[in-house]
Amino acid sequence: MTSKRTWRAIGAATALWLGLAASSAQAATASICIGEDQAVAVMAVAMPDILTAIGKTCESRLPPSATLRAGLPALMSRYGAEASAAWTPARDALVKIGGDSLKGVDADLLHPLIGTLIAPMMTKDVKPSDCPQIDHVAELLAPLPAHNSAALVVAIYQLVSADKKQALPFTICPAHS
């Protein structure tokens, strides 16, 4: 028997997915804009799941001493703590992105779904041959505070996507000078 909480979580996942899809369709005409701090918060919440997904993809391609293997538990602990701290601004960003499709949905039900939805989008193109380079990046990020790692990922995303069509259903608002 499925509990009410499970059905609410399924409903929240569906609403978030539909909200992201609707936002993608709207992106060509009126892109939703979230603040850089909200984008960093979303990334901070998603990073534990992203790292776990990449770690699983790369496990057989990396030596046991690799950061994404031996160092993953320590990273997950630090990134998990940051994910909890970043939840409120990430939730606000997701509600903004989801728009009307999330009206009436308990936004806190979205928390466990962020990684479930975002991690596959972020890791779908990872090839086993990419693993050594990705591990090197993880090794370079490992000494940084988790918030700085999330902010760096967002900054790199902004840099590489500046002249390309947005891959996400939102943009990061330009900073006001």
- Residue spans of the domains in the chain: they are 4-172
Q: What pLDDT, on a 0 to 100 scale, did the predictor assign at position 176?
A: 58
pTM for the complete prediction? 0.76
Q: Which long-range contacts (CB under 8 A, 24 or more apart) does 126-134 make?
A: 126/54, 126/57, 126/58, 128/57, 128/58, 128/60, 128/61, 129/61, 131/54, 131/57, 131/58, 131/61, 131/62, 131/68, 132/61, 132/62, 134/54, 134/58, 134/68
Q: Is 177 helix (H, G, I), strand (E, B) or coil?
A: coil
The pLDDT profile of the chain, 177 residues, written as one tens digit per residue, is 444 443 344 444 434 444 444 444 444 434 788 899 999 998 899 889 888 889 888 999 999 999 999 998 988 899 989 998 999 899 888 888 888 777 777 777 777 777 777 778 778 888 889 999 999 999 999 999 999 999 998 888 888 776 665 556 678 887 754
Residue 34: which H helix or E strand, with range?
A: strand 33-34
